[in-house]
């Protein structure tokens, strides 16, 4: 046991060491810097490093490429999948497919590889590419099965292309035997549309096909009905579940609590929460978050803080979502000083996410407290957290509003270097500022770097 703990500590130290080098070294010299520091990584360490840099696809790829050249080292399937996701995020699809081909040569491809790619294409609104990925699986010696079929439908539904998903389902359901998950995916898709009559139709078709609703299906129906403002009907579904011997889950209770909160039915939200506790269903962080959200919706922040205290007493650790609910609500009410207090409290008990940092940076920029926004930025970098597009954009926008073109340009270049394309509004703000200051040369430099990122593959 001691040896195991020691090994875990060694791995953690190595991950921190690698991340520190990656955060401080330009990508062009990263491989040399890693070699000169005598860095040697295991597949597990590589997985952790790649996960931490999933928002910096270029940097992650340089590390991935370097690690793959080490003696007696082979990337794991998980490492390949993380890298594929990171490259897809910055739309480096050619490099992504290069990795797929590398996996094929090593016989490492599986259904999940293609499901990941379908999800990423769908998120980028590339519907034809989603279908292409599914159709090409056979050529990669990975014959599609019902899990792949479900992955295709899920990718389309989650990107608001449920009609396309339904069309494919109707045309191909003879090739696969749809299961309860297949119907649940379509059910959820029509619920998001939103199209309650079509969702009911899919539910009936599912039952007629001999697929009994499971806990997931019931959960989706409750969610759909709640979003359609039919919370009382959703409660009837819960009663139907109990009658059929299917116990409601914490997810179902969290949906009900959250919906009552949105409808300002705070007493019903509390009653549902207490009913869940009395029925013996374990209360998890999602349900607590729903209850906190309900209290925040009616500006009962002291009640929300009491829920936080209860979580601590019951050893349920708050997460970044807990923090973000309270912060967004306080800032929305103009309680920015209180938001800062909550931020300081929460970072001691849970890890902030990109949304947390973004909302705090934006808050300080809106308050015209740029130095404080930069302090949050420095804290984030110190924690080795790689910022998202929205986080960097919030700070660049703040710097532009204060006419601090120099620091805004440094961040913009860093953003482009990490393979992240700035949004039109953010780039436009900086462009106007540079033109106003007569710095056309700097603007041209940034424009060229951005054009290069868009037009040429990173491997060149």
Whether the link from the prior residue into 194 is cis, omega within 30° of 0, is yes
Q: Are 291 and 263 in contact (CB under 8 A)?
A: no
Tokens encoding 177? 């035997």
Q: What is the pLDDT of residue 455?
A: 54
Cα–Cα distance measured from residue 416 to residue 15, given in angstroms and rounded to the nearest whole number: 25
pTM over 0.85: no
pLDDT tops 70 at residue 253: yes
pLDDT tops 60 at residue 1: no
Length of the chain: 460
Q: What is the pLDDT of residue 38?
A: 86
Backbone φ and ψ for 133, nearest 5 degrees, come out as -60, -40
Q: What is the pLDDT of residue 229?
A: 87
pLDDT tops 50 at residue 338: yes
pLDDT tops 80 at residue 452: no
Tokens encoding 212? 């009994």
User: What is the average per-residue pLDDT within 112-128?
Assistant: 95
- Half-sphere exposure in the Cβ direction for 54 (13 Å, CA): 15
Q: Is 446 left (phi over 0), alpha (psi -120 to 50) or beta?
A: alpha
Tokens encoding 307? 């829920």
Q: Is 359 exposed, middle or buried (0-12, 13-18, 19+ CB in 10 A)?
A: buried
| 19 — pLDDT class (breaks 50, 70, 90) | confident
What would the pLDDT profile of 269-295 be if each residue is shown by its tens digit? 999 999 998 988 889 999 999 999 999
């Amino acid at each position: 046991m001691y040896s195991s703990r020691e090994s875990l500590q060694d791995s953690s130290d190595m991950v921190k060491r690698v991340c520190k080098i990656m955060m401080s070294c330009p990508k062009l010299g990263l491989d040399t810097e890693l070699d000169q520091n005598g860095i040697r990584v295991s597949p597990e360490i590589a997985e952790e490093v790649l996960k931490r840099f999933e928002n910096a696809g270029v940097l992650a790829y340089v590390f991935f490429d370097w690690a793959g050249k080490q003696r007696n080292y082979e990337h794991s399937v998980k490492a390949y999948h993380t890298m594929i996701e990171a490259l897809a995020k910055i739309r480096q699809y050619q490099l992504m497919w290069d990795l797929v081909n590398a996996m094929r040569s090593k016989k490492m491809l599986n259904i999940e590889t293609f499901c990941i790619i379908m999800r990423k294409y769908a998120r980028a609104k590339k519907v034809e590419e989603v279908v292409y990925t599914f159709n090409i699986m056979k050529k990669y010696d990975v014959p599609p099965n019902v899990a792949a079929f479900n992955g295709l439908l899920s990718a389309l539904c989650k990107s608001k292309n449920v009609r396309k998903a339904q069309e494919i389902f109707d045309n191909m359901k003879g090739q696969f035997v749809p299961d309860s998950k297949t119907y649940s995916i379509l059910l959820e898709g029509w619920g998001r549309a939103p199209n309650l009559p079509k969702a009911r139709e899919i539910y009936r078709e599912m039952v007629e096909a001999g697929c009994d609703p499971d806990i997931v299906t019931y959960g989706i129906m409750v969610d759909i009905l709640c979003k359609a403002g039919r919370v009382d009907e959703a409660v009837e579904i819960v009663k139907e579940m109990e009658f059929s011997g299917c116990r409601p889950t914490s997810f179902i209770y969290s949906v009900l609590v959250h919906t009552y909160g949105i409808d300002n039915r705070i007493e019903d939200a509390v009653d549902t929460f207490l009913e869940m506790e009395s029925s013996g269903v374990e209360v998890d962080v999602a349900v607590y978050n729903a209850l906190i959200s309900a209290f925040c919706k009616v500006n009962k922040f002291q009640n929300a803080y009491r829920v936080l205290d209860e979580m601590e007493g019951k050893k349920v650790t708050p997460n970044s979502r807990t923090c973000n609910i309270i912060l967004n609500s306080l800032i929305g009410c103009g309680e920015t000083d209180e938001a800062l207090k909550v931020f300081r409290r929460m970072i001691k008990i849970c890890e902030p996410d990109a949304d947390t940092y973004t909302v705090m940076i934006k808050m300080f920029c809106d308050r015209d407290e740029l130095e404080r926004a930069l302090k949050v930025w420095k804290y984030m970098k110190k924690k080795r957290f790689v910022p998202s597009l929205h986080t960097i954009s919030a700070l660049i926008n703040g710097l532009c509003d204060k006419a601090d073109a120099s620091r805004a340009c440094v961040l913009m270049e860093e953003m482009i270097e990490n393979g992240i394309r700035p949004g039109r509004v953010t780039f436009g703000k900086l462009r106007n500022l540079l033109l106003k200051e007569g710095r056309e040369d700097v603007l041209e430099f940034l424009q060229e770097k951005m054009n290069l990122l868009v037009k040429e593959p990173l491997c060149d």
